[in-house]
Structures are given as structure tokens and as C-alpha cells.
Amino acid sequence: MSLVNIEEPNKNQTISKCLGIDFGTTNSVCSMKLDDKVIFIEDSNKKTLIPTALLFKKEIVVGNDIDFKKNIQDCVFSIKRNFVENPDKKMILSNNLEMSPVEISKEFFLYLKKMTKNYLKEDLSDCVLTVPAYFDERARSGIMRSALMAGFNVRRLINEPTAAAFAYGLDEKKRGSFLVYDLGGGTFDVSLLKLKDKLFKVVGTSGDANLGGDDFDNLILEELILKDLKIKKEDIADNNLKVLLKEAKLIKEKSQETKNFTASLIINGEKKEINVNSFKIDEILEELVEKTISITSELLNDCEAEINEIDGFILVGGSTRVKLITKKLEEKFRKKIFNELDPDHVVSHGASLHGFELLNGSDNLLLDVTPLSLGIETMGGLMEKIIPRNSNIPIVKEQVFTTNENGQTSIKISVLQGEREISKNNTFLGELILSNLEPKPAGIPRVRVRFSLDADGILFVSAIDESTGNEQNSVIKTGIDLSVEEMKKIVESSIENAKEDMDTRSLIESKIKATRLINEVNNAKIEIQNLCSKKDIEKIYNITNMLNNELKKNNKVEIDNLVEDLNEITKSFAEKIVNKNFKNFVGKDIDILEQK
Amino acid sequence: MRPNQTCWYCQKRTEVINFQCQTCNKIQKIKEANPYDIFDTEKTFILNFDDLEEKFLKLQSIFHPDKFVNADSNQKQISIAESAKINNAYNVLMNNVDRLKVLLDFYGFKQDDKEGKSFKDPDLLEEIMDLQSKCMSIEHENEKQKIKNEIKLQIGSLENEIEKNIKEKVFSKAQDLSIKLSYLEKIRKDLK
Ligand SMILES: [Zn+2]
């Protein structure tokens, strides 16, 4: 009997490829679903685990290409942690280069892109990028901007534990309610997920954006190495500390397999030996592990879930190799623990599965939540919540604002994220300035502001002056850069019409530069009217219009020329504008207002 | 499924199945505003939450932005707005107090929403304060569980009473009960 070949209905449809990128604190992983398999991208050293490390020398050296023995003191490690503090704050690197976490990470993403191209012999731009679930909006959009600037078309940001659960749900066919316990190098996330057929629903998420395996290493350095040798941390040079932290990490890893051993180290040029005992290590780490367990218990409480409704724990992140974690979780919760997928690769694995489904369609539905409440600052320096944490995303909320002084023509609103009552204890996302209101008695103007968190957890704000119907220019201003929305448009338009051989990366750079300049000109409209001659004003707007048109096309040379022209003509009064702008901000009529 | 509406894109009067224009295939907005109508659910206070979740998921699997990654920007915008609308409506219906508000609104009952007017009934005030101090002095897990169950029962019987009042259209009584309900819900939430 011959087999009848039944043709699948969609067989001829072309499959779109999508990279799943896990940009980790310690290591990063890229993968892609091809046919029915997930393949992991290897670098030129045939490794899939890429150290998230960069060395800025004459050239930029990244990941496994770095000779760590020789260069450890000059390397940038754990850059992801800096996104929590401020993604745009310049850091001074070893060779006096000044770069922000966004700019440094852009170089890392460029490397990942090149590595993928070398391995697949094909240039891939589409990707799904993972972020710690407990990252706030500022850190999320910062990472997204880095990837966009490197020419990645980020189709979706998903949370790391959610990605891991997706892999377990699809590839391991897990069904039920699970706590995903994700301990990476720099962050701790825990999420409660419901996995059903075709449904992956995050019920709630919690964590600590500043607790990870790095902190374990640090504790071992301080509580074991330095204490035993009676050396003070401040007496050790920074370079030496970096090396010692790596040694502490090795001690942590070895203690998981070996009960007693001796480790030799070099401190301040002297060779030292210490005896390591795995019980002692557990004792040192206990406090941090307990912290993650109490965060886990709180999450259950917040979700009003009972532990007996939970089917088990899914362990994610390289740091969960510390056996004390499994032991403590079992003691406290008495639940099954799942770790059959490699904790270092599972996040990227899930991201590539999701990316494949996004681009090629699927019956599966993945629903996630926002980890932190979004709110605004009220009169007394308190935060008023507008979108509570653990709300399903996307979500849209509206609020009406008014003035509190007669004749006031603008309103300033600080947008915050976090759970604390006092606004300054939360993350400041930016400020929204509603300007050009008609002068009216206090309390009369009505500006309706719409806060929307999209499916990536990225915030968009729009405002309408209800009395005039005018749409307000209300992009959240942190005063730094283009918004994710603007960058996304640039990347999409550059990739869309790109010729095979075109250098999309430098095209994107040119477009970003041009868009920044156009924004500056638009923001300075009033000053330009006041400070420039009629002829110059006309020229400025002519060039701006031409530039706006060019941005829709992909002619890099033309864009660069127009940018140069515009720079030239605006240079003469740029300084005046800066000064004047500054005065405007200090001016009295912008005031924090109580919303109605 | 509402046949014969005008499509925002092709401007044709056309059949719409699963919110998709049958002429041009573009996604259509949800017309309903009332959360009950969005989920095509009968306007009763007591709901079958399993049913509701099913309907919620069915709608999200149509509108969620993940399903529009390759779509044009107009459809992307509709997807975000409608998916958010579905989330909001679901949250409202899942919350006892919010759901009652929607119902009372629907029946045209004017609600005073000032919290200050809450305690018209001194007995209620006393009852709530008693319960609160009881919760404050919990020492053992057993005790906590007992109080939790007690509150759960109380909420349950309140729900039945509210349901009855709504059916009989004695809305002022339903509103009075909602005050007690909101306090009980709050105590239950704070009980960790
Ligand atoms: Zn149509």
C-alpha cells in the first residue's frame, strides 16, 4: 500500500522568521524557530551563551571574543542593571568614553545582529525581545530603544518569566497554575501563570529589579573571602575587585557540586588561599534566598491565590542552579519543581516560539500584566494611581485635569511608576506639559489626558483640550531622546523598502539624527518666530518639510545633506533658544496641578 | 455578529462576522459601551465567572494586538483600543462594587458616590468596626482562616440579597448593601 501524500493547506505560504532575544544581565541568548525546532544561534566560538560584556578599545569587542584574562578590568559587565537606575545617564568607560546604557547596549545588539547573520547567512531584523517582568517602563523602553537603534525591528517585548512559561506550555505541554521563579544575574522575577490549552495568562507578577546572582557573588566575596582573610573592601583596587567577583562566582558554582575545597586567589598582588565549605555558602546565601521566597508569598497573597491551587514551580535563570533555592522552595511550599528546560536558554526559547506565532499566526493567546502601578503626582507630593499593578495590558485610562490659578495657560503633570505613596520614592517616567491653554478662571479649562500602556508595557500619552478640541502636543518629555514610537517608525520604514545590499544600520542612524533635529525645531517654533528673520524662517520650514518627506524614503545621502543644511541655518541662534527654553521651564505659570 | 453595519474602511454596508468586515476583511470596533453588552451577558448581579472568562478570552483572541502584528496601523490602533476596552470591561464585571454601579446606572438609579455619606446606618458602622478590630487582633493562622471564611459567607449572602433587590427593582436597598459590601471586600483584601 502506498502512502497518500496529504498536502497541508498552508504549505506554500512563506514562513517569516523571527529571532527570540534574551538580553541577560550576565549572558544573552538568541534563538529562532525553524520548521518544528528551535535553533540557538552560535557565535564564532560555537557558543550559544554570549556573555553580556563589552570591551571598548580601538574596536568594540563583545561577548566570547573578549580575552577576559587580559582585559577584565576594562570590560563593561552587567550593563542591564544600569537600565534600572537611568537608561540615559552617561557613564564614563575605562578609556574616558562617555556613553549611556542605551548607547552601550546598542553596540551589544549590533553584535548580536552580526552574529546571527554570520550563523544563518541571512540578515534578520524581526525579533521578540525579553525584559525582566519587574522592570519599569523607563527601563523597558530604554532596552527597546537600544535594540531599535541597532536595526532590530522589535515586534514585541515580553516578560522573561512569561517567555519561559510559554516554552514550558508549548514544548513541555504543561497545564495548570504555575509560579515561574526567575533568578537571573541582576534581577528576580516571580510570576503566577495559568496555562491552559491555547491560553497563557499571567495572573500577577512581582520581583526585585535589583536582586540577582551578582548579589550572591558579592555576598560571598564580602562574607566569605574578605571576612576570612580579614581584608577590607575599600583596600582593594577596583580592577582586583572585578576579578575577585568572578572568583566568588566560581566558588558559588563549585560549592554546588563539592562539599569542601580550597580556592586560591590573588588579592593586592598576594596569593591567598581559603577553605570553602558548601554549608557555609548556604548560610551566607540564605538571607537573599529568603527574600525571594517572601516576595513569592506576597505575590500569592496579592493574587488572592492559595498555594494548594498551584501545580508547581518553574525555575528559570542561571542563578537557580544554586541548590539552596530548590531546597527552600520545597520546604516552604511543598510543590513540584520543574527545571527540565535549560534555565539559561529557556527564556530565549520561549521568545522565539512567540515570535514565530506573532509573524505567522496562531490560535494561542498570551495575556500579560503590568508589574507596577502607573500614576501621577498630586499636590502634596503624593502619587495617585491611575493604572494599578497587575492590570492586564493593553490598558487605557483617562483623567481630566484643570488649572488652579486664574489665567494659567499651562499644566505640568509628572508621570510616575511604582507602589509607594510618596511620589519621589517611585520612578519618574517623565513630565507632560499641556500648554497654550486659553487663559480662563481657575478650574474652568478641562484637559482630558489618556494614558495607555500597550502590549509591550510601553506608555503612550495623549491629551485633548476639551474646551477647544485641540489635540495637545503631549509626548512625555524626559528631555533625552526620541520616543519608542518614533524610533519604531524609523526602523520599520528603513527595513520595509530597503534594498538587499543597503546598509540599514547607518540609514537608521541618519534618520534618528534627522528626527531629533526636526523635533528640536518643532519645539522651538515660538522662539524661531521671535528670533529669526522672515527669510530664515521660510528656509527653516522649507528644509524641515523636505526632510520630513525624505524620511519616508530611504535616501541616506539626501537625508544627511538636508540635516547639514538645517544645522547650518539654525546654528546661529541655537544657543539663544536653549537659554530661552530654560527660562520658560523655570517660569511661574507652569505649575503642578491637582486634577479635578 | 451583527449583519449590515457600515465598515469604517470600505464604507460599505456589509455583513460583519467575528468583528470582521466580510467585504474587505478589516477588523471592526466593538459598538457596545456597557460591559455587560460587550460580553453579551444578561444584566444580573450574580454572574457565572467561568462563562464570563470564556467570553473574555474569545474576544481577546480576536482583538489582542498580538493578532495584528502584521496589520496596517489603523487596524493596529483599533486592536489596542478594543483590547484595552475588553480588559477594562472585564475588570469592572469581576469587581462586585464596580459591577453593581454599572447595573444601577443601567437602571437609571441615581447614585450618590460620596464616601462620606456611607454610614447612614450606625449599626453598620459598629458592625464593620467590630470586624476590623477582630482582624487587627488575629494571632494564629487558624483564626485568620476562620475570619476569612466568615467574611466570605457574609459577602455571599450580601450578593444574594443584592441580586434579589435588583430583580425586584428596589435599587436604593441594593445601593445601601453595596456600602457594606465594599467595606467587607476591603477588609478581605487587607487580610493577609
Ligand atoms: Zn470593509
- Residue A157, pLDDT score: 97
Quote the ligand 1 centre to B23 CA distance (angstroms).
5
Contact at CB, B66 and A392, closer than 8 angstroms: no
- Residue A552, pLDDT score: 86
Quote the ligand 1 centre to B17 CA distance (angstroms).
11
Please report whether residue A2 resides in a domain: no
Report ipTM for this prediction: 0.90
- Residue A13, pLDDT score: 66
B6 CB within 8 Å of a chain A CB:
no
Task: Grade residue A355 by pLDDT with cuts at 50, 70 and 90.
Answer: very high
- Residue B118, pLDDT score: 55
Residue B41 falls in which region: left (phi positive, over 0), alpha (psi -120 to 50) or beta: beta
pLDDT tens-digit readout, A448-503: 888 999 999 999 888 888 877 777 655 555 555 678 888 888 888 888 766 555 67
Give A596 or B114, the one with higher predicted confidence: B114
Contact at CB, B87 and A155, closer than 8 angstroms: no
Collect residues with CB below 5 Å from ion ligand 1. Answer: B 7, 9-10, 21, 23-24
Quote the ligand 1 centre to B2 CA distance (angstroms).
14
Please report whether residue B46 resides in a domain: yes
- Regarding whether B122 and B59 lie in a shared domain, the answer is no
B88 CB within 8 Å of a chain A CB:
yes
Q: What is the CATH number of the domain that holds B151?
A: 1.20.1280.20
pLDDT averaged over every residue in chain A = 88
Final residue before a domain boundary, out of A266, A285, A304: A285
- Regarding whether B185 and B154 lie in a shared domain, the answer is yes
Average pLDDT over residues A306-321: 95
pLDDT tens-digit readout, A362-412: 999 999 999 999 999 988 889 999 999 999 999 999 999 888 888 888 888
- Regarding whether A325 and A182 lie in a shared domain, the answer is yes
Q: At a CB cut-off of 8 Å and minimum separation 6, what does B157 contact?
A: none
- Residue A489, pLDDT score: 86
**Are residues A422 and A382 in contact, defined by beta-carbon separation less than 8 angstroms?**
yes
Quote the ligand 1 centre to B11 CA distance (angstroms).
6
- Regarding whether B113 and B90 lie in a shared domain, the answer is no
Residues in chain B with CB shorter than 8 Å from the CB of A367 are: 60, 64
For residue A289, with 0-12 CB atoms within 10 Å meaning exposed, 13-18 middle and 19 or more buried, which class applies? middle
A199, A361, A455 ranked by CB distance to B65: nearest = A455
Please report whether residue B101 resides in a domain: no
Please report whether residue B103 resides in a domain: no
Position A321 pLDDT exceeds 90: yes
Quote the ligand 1 centre to B22 CA distance (angstroms).
7
Contact at CB, A455 and B69, closer than 8 angstroms: no
Distance CA A141, CA A16 (A): 25
Final residue before a domain boundary, out of B59, B94, B129: B94
- Regarding whether B64 and B134 lie in a shared domain, the answer is no
Apex A406 CA angle, A400 and A410, nearest 5:
50
Position B183 pLDDT exceeds 90: no
- Regarding whether B131 and B82 lie in a shared domain, the answer is no
- Regarding whether A549 and A468 lie in a shared domain, the answer is no
Residues in chain A with CB shorter than 8 Å from the CB of B85 are: 396
Q: At a CB cut-off of 8 Å and minimum separation 6, what does A571 contact?
A: none
- Regarding whether B89 and B25 lie in a shared domain, the answer is yes
Please report whether residue B68 resides in a domain: yes
Please report whether residue B100 resides in a domain: no
Please report whether residue A321 resides in a domain: yes
- Regarding whether B150 and B114 lie in a shared domain, the answer is yes
Task: Grade residue A127 by pLDDT with cuts at 50, 70 and 90.
Answer: very high
- Residue A350, pLDDT score: 97
- Regarding whether A187 and A106 lie in a shared domain, the answer is yes
The SS3 assignment for A53 reads strand
Please report whether residue A414 resides in a domain: yes
The amino acid occupying position A445 is P
The domain total for chain A is: 4
B192 CB within 8 Å of a chain A CB:
yes
Final residue before a domain boundary, out of B60, B94, B128: B94
Contact at CB, A358 and B65, closer than 8 angstroms: no
Task: Grade residue B140 by pLDDT with cuts at 50, 70 and 90.
Answer: confident
Task: Name, of A3-17, A91-105, A337-351, the range with top average pLDDT.
Answer: A337-351
- Regarding whether A391 and A332 lie in a shared domain, the answer is no
- Regarding whether A535 and A433 lie in a shared domain, the answer is no
Position A158 pLDDT exceeds 70: yes
pLDDT tens-digit readout, B55-81: 999 999 999 999 999 999 999 999 999
pTM of the prediction? 0.89
Respond yes or no on whether the N-terminal peptide bond of residue A388 is cis (omega within 30° of 0).
no
Final residue before a domain boundary, out of B94, B117, B137: B94
Rg (CA), chain B: 21
Task: Grade residue A413 by pLDDT with cuts at 50, 70 and 90.
Answer: confident
- Regarding whether B140 and B75 lie in a shared domain, the answer is no
- Regarding whether A204 and A328 lie in a shared domain, the answer is yes
Distance CA A442, CA A372 (A): 33
Residue A542 falls in which region: left (phi positive, over 0), alpha (psi -120 to 50) or beta: alpha
Average pLDDT over residues B9-33: 92
Q: What is the CATH number of the domain that holds A382?
A: 2.60.34.10
- Regarding whether A221 and A206 lie in a shared domain, the answer is no
Residues from A contacting B (CB-CB < 8 Å) are: 155-156, 198-199, 301, 304, 357-359, 361, 363, 365-367, 391-396, 452, 454-455
- Regarding whether A429 and A307 lie in a shared domain, the answer is no
A358, A366, A394 ranked by CB distance to B83: nearest = A394
Q: What is the DSSP letter of A218?
A: H
Task: Grade residue A592 by pLDDT with cuts at 50, 70 and 90.
Answer: very low
- Regarding whether A295 and A278 lie in a shared domain, the answer is no
Domain that holds residue A505: 498-585
Contact at CB, B84 and A452, closer than 8 angstroms: yes
- Regarding whether A328 and A204 lie in a shared domain, the answer is yes
Give the best residue of A307, A358, A363 to mutate against chain B (max B CB count within 10 A). Answer: A358
Distance CA A154, CA A144 (A): 7
- Regarding whether A121 and A229 lie in a shared domain, the answer is no
Task: Name, of A75-79, A586-590, B185-189, the range with top average pLDDT.
Answer: A75-79
Final residue before a domain boundary, out of A236, A270, A285: A285
- Which chain A residue's Cα is nearest to B80? A394
Maximum distance among all alpha carbons in chain B?
A: 67
Instruction: Tell me, letter by letter, the H, E, C secondary structure of A542-556.
Output: HHHHHHHHHHHCCCH
Q: What is the CATH number of the domain that holds A515?
A: 1.20.1270.10
The domain total for chain B is: 2
Taking only residues 13 to 72 of chain B, the set having a beta carbon closer than 8 angstroms to any beta carbon of chain A reads: 57, 60-61, 64-67, 69-70
Please report whether residue A196 resides in a domain: yes
**Are residues A72 and A241 in contact, defined by beta-carbon separation less than 8 angstroms?**
no
The amino acid occupying position B80 is I
The SS3 assignment for A404 reads coil
Please report whether residue A486 resides in a domain: no
Please report whether residue B121 resides in a domain: yes
A301, A366, A396 ranked by CB distance to B84: nearest = A396
Domain that holds residue B67: 4-94
B59 Cα distance to chain centroid:
16
Position A414 pLDDT exceeds 60: yes
Please report whether residue A487 resides in a domain: no
pLDDT tens-digit readout, B111-133: 765 554 555 677 777 888 888 88
- Regarding whether B119 and B40 lie in a shared domain, the answer is no
- Regarding whether B126 and B45 lie in a shared domain, the answer is no
Burial code (b: 16+ CB inside 10 Å, e: under 16) for A553-578 equals: ebebeebbebbebbeeebeebeeebe
Percent of chain A with pLDDT over 70: 91
Final residue before a domain boundary, out of A235, A251, A285: A285
- Residue A497, pLDDT score: 65
Please report whether residue A490 resides in a domain: no
Give the best residue of A128, A395, A485, A493 to mutate against chain B (max B CB count within 10 A). Answer: A395
Distance CA A223, CA A210 (A): 19
Instruction: Tell me, letter by letter, the H, E, C secondary structure of A347-399.
Output: HHHHHHHHHHHHHHCCCCEEECECCCCEEEECCCCEEEEEECCCCECCEEEEE
Position A297 pLDDT exceeds 80: yes
Q: What is the CATH number of the domain that holds A344?
A: 3.30.420.40
- Regarding whether A38 and A74 lie in a shared domain, the answer is yes
Q: What is the CATH number of the domain that holds B67?
A: 1.10.287.110
Distance CA A150, CA A30 (A): 15
Please report whether residue A1 resides in a domain: no
**Are residues A317 and A343 in contact, defined by beta-carbon separation less than 8 angstroms?**
yes
